[in-house]
Amino acid sequence: MFYHAYTAYMDNAYPADELMPLSCKPRWREVEQSRGDIDETLGNFSLTLVDALDTLVVMGDIEEFDRALRLVVRDVSFDNDVVVSVFETNIRMVGGLISGHVMAEHLNQLYGALGWYRGELLTMARDLASRLLPAFNTTTGIPHAKVNLKYGMKSPKLQSSRDTCTACAGTIILEFAALSRLTGDSIFEEKARQAMDCLWSQRHRGSDLVGTVLNVHSGDWVRRDSGVGAGIDSYYEYLLKAYVLLGDEGYLERFNKHYSAVMKYISQGPMLLDVHMHRPHTTSRNFMDALLAFWPGLQVLKGDIKPAIETHEMLYQVIQRHNFLPEAFTTDFQVHWGQHPLRPEFLESTYLLYLATDDPYYLRVGEQVLRSLQKHAWVPCGYAAVKDVRTGVHEDRMDSFVLSETFKYLYLLFSKPSDLIIDLDQFIFTTEAHLLPLSLARLSNLTVVPGPDNQGAQDSDVEYARSCPNAHFLFPGRHEFAETIRRPLKNFVNNVCPSRKTIRRKLRASEFQAGNSRHMGLLRDMGITIMALPDGRVQLLHTSSNAKSSDDAEEGLLFMQEMIELSKLQQEQPDSPPRVVSFLHVVDGHPTTTTIQAGPAQFGLDLKGNIQVNGPVVKATPLRACEQLGNEDEIHGKIVIIERGDCMFIEKARRLEALGAIGGIVLDNTPETSAKTSPMFAMSGDGTDDVNIPLVFLFSGDAEVLLNALHDQPELEVVLSDFDDKDIGKGSIEEVQVEVKGTREGGEETLTAGLDDAGLPHVISIINNRQQGSENLADDDLVTVVEGQQTAHSQLHEQEESQKHQVILKDLEKAKTAEEILVAAVRYVNVRQEQEVARGNTLMTEHSSALIVTELQSLLVKKTASDPSLLKSLLSVHLRELMAVLQQAAPSPSDLDASLHHLLNQLSTLTMTASTSLDESKKPVASQQPSVRGDLQKWDFNENSKLDHLAEKFQEKIRKIKKKYGLSPEHIESISDIQGTVSPQTKDHNRKDEL
């Protein structure tokens, strides 16, 4: 079995990190579809081969080990610009290289093999570990979770790094200490020991428990739940094994306290533990994860055999039900997460229990696991992970630990000591099943590896160093001992009735909208909190004890599971670019082409490149289209508008296609959603793509534009196409007002709408490619709102223009946001310019341009007088758009500069007024005045610095925008002294939330 997988990797994937057993091809980092954090195990350094080196030795294949060693020395390097997991890289790569080095030296001493070897793997291990050291440069000594192999922590991807798991920080000491003692360089053991010391100091002093995730800078716990599963498991293991390997009794003392604390808080059977650090108490977890399977093995090493047998038996019965141990299962032993990536932890515990009890029962357990692997995971090109133990569906994945651990423990379980070419009693296994020599306990900074037993007399120190720390024989010598413990647990899993309670779901992950206050309230009831990360991602944390009720807590777990599944599904799907829905309709009397960004579908006709579908639109009846439609006769040859909900997207598409529809537009069923505040939504299918028409998705708020146009124009036609305008921000709605030309046919005057290639169209874009509330002046925050000017139309009369003028003034008065103000301002400028042309005035004259820009300036001042934040937003967040509008209103650069100057002064005046008013309303009492005055002086200094800095950025921003607009350099300097327009008195009254 090992060679089937190993040969498949070497023939089809080496020197890549992993084999994709279903595709039978290599998995390279950043070449295949990203799998998220899973890929941080990969570093383009032949991971699987390095991880499997000592397995070749355990199986006695010195010849292949020699060949593999030469390949690693020749091909593997680490100067790669790639971000990797510190934890995974240490246990798999550093540990694999050190173990390979130890095996090479050991075989040379025992059998005279590998005479060419000169410690190359140890040098490589030192190089790689040195590349991990920058992660340890924190105030606590706790390493960052990730590091860039080439640039350390200077990689842009690591700027927001701050949290790591307990196991990630506490599973380094064995490899780093071994490296220090084999090379004589103490830095590695010192760094790992400091991390272990910090973890111990951060324990909960009342319970001796540690949390699961902590901040590397402060040491504070981010997740305070404690247990023995994922995120914490190998920390306990390394405490005990660090004592065994290094002889430091401090590690044993820490392990014993942690172990006693964990066992104290376990109730309701083995491993059902979830302890909150603030109030140490036991609460049953609603599910247990597969990494729990390592715990019985650790209990064996501790000498606590009875609970080890009990926990192992419970896990084995779960395996008998599902063939494999699922990644997580509920407390009534139903599948919670169905994946099984061929993990080794259960086999490791089985092997150690067999060593402890000599009970052949554990051979039969291993046999069943072996047969399940052969029957359900074997594929022609290796062994494939099981995506769901309930269906047996495979995943195109074979992790390196399958060769390093899974098959190694299986082989050791069935082997006899005489089958092995090395004495395993001289070694200890790391968490990745790599072998480190016990003789390291007596080494300080010596490069020494254990030799064969017949090298002569051994002193007592050496003998003690190679022995297990438990001096007494703790395990009973009869097979019936383990059976007496297992007997009461017979059918333990089968006798537990699965819960039949049906939870009435209030919210599913697929329905969740982060901007919906009702949804946020439901999450709080479920015990779920949301944390916004600095890199823009959102982290969801579930704590059962914070839920409103037990049913809410259970629904919270289901929600989290669904969210994880959705995330994985999204990562597995190919990249789907956005699409657009565009149509021609009349806005304020002008023919206008509106383009709305739409979400794609991962099935059906792919609207890429020049592929597009156009036709008349019709609404389905009923709108959700999950049953027979009442207007089937209207569907043929149409693009059908339907609503999300009640059935799958692809089911709706199949129904529409069967009725002859040429496409579909799905509207969100949650009111007031918008691409402005929500990420792009891609509709997924059911695995069978038998649809030949396109489907696109519109958020409900964006869809209102389409529905209103359809209401005004029942014969409306739309175009579904690719999103090829790279200048339009995410979530944009673009309105292009096309030029209207008059023609005469047969004496009758007609108006035709079209885009004139000779002139630039008038474009209004509401762009939202920044987070709401953000007010930075980044270079790439927005594109221009207005391009060019619209020509006047002789068909428009002055009376109509006056009516338009009044309508636009009302729109400006009703505007509530900076975007709405800008749109109204653009329309105002267009109407005024058309009026001037109709009157025979030339727009380029100083009088006309100055008049329009002065009017606009006054309107903006009047509009923002009651709300300075609107003017602040125009001058900071929407500076580019504002300058574009002013440039259209005032072709003269001097007018543009003067208007900006005036608006900034107006903001200063409004700010000073607001601050003075605030100071008067909150005037402190006399006894508090001295302390308040001192604080205010300090604060004013900071605010002055902030304002100076922002003014500099404001100047730089204006220069860049002017350069983009093509204004001459002599005009750029005319506003360079903007900073001086803010008087010291004004600065002193600025509040922290102002510009």
Active-site residue numbers?
A: 88, 233, 327, 345
Which DSSP helix (H) or strand (E) runs through 780? none
- Give the pairing type, strands 663-667 and 538-542: unpaired
CA distances from 747 to 554, 741, 751, 754 (A): 76, 16, 13, 22
The CA–CA distances, whole Å, from 142 to 139, 147, 218, 233 equal 8, 13, 9, 17
Contacts of 560 (CB under 8 A, 6+ apart): 528, 540, 542
Helix, strand, coil shares of the chain, percent, nearest 5, are 50, 15, 40
Task: Tell me the C-alpha to C-alpha distance, in Å, between residue 467 and each of 437, 439, 462, 577.
Answer: 11, 10, 9, 61
Residue 457 CB-density burial (10 A; 0-12 exposed, 13-18 middle, 19+ buried): exposed
Rounded Cα distance between 753 and 662, Å, is 26
Instruction: Give the whole-angstrom CA distance, residue 314 versus residue 414.
Output: 22
Residue 591, Cα to own-chain centre: how many angstroms? 43
d(CA 734, CA 677): 17
Structure tokens at 222: 């981010």
Query: Distance of CA 193 to CAs 94, 163, 247, Å?
Result: 17, 19, 14
Degrees (nearest 5) of the Cα angle 287, 293, 299?
120
Could you tell me if residue 855 is left (phi over 0), alpha (psi between -120 and 50 degrees) or otherwise beta? Answer: alpha
The count of other CB atoms within 10 Å of the CB of residue 350 is 25
∠ Cα 949 952 957 (to 5°): 125
For residue 85, CA distances in Å to 37, 42, 142, 258, 401 come to 8, 8, 14, 26, 15
Q: Minimal CA–CA distance to 765: which of 789, 740, 782, 790?
A: 782
Any idea what DSSP says for residue 767? -
- Say if residue 969 is preceded by a cis peptide, omega within 30 of 0: no
Give the chain's radius of gyration (CA, Å). Answer: 35
Record the tokens describing residue 908, joined without a space: 């200063």
Burial class (CB in 10 A: 0-12, 13-18, 19+), 126: buried
- Both structure tokens of 534: 């600095």
- Of 424, 378, 540, nearest to 58 (Cα)? 424
Q: Which of 164, 34, 25 has its CA nearest to residue 86?
A: 164
The candidate with the shortest Cα–Cα distance to 244, out of 311, 294, 303, 197, is 303
Sign of the four-CA dihedral 221, 222, 226, 231:
negative
The CA distance from 293 to 347, in Å, is 8
Pairing of strands 663-667, 639-643: parallel
DSSP type of residue 600: -
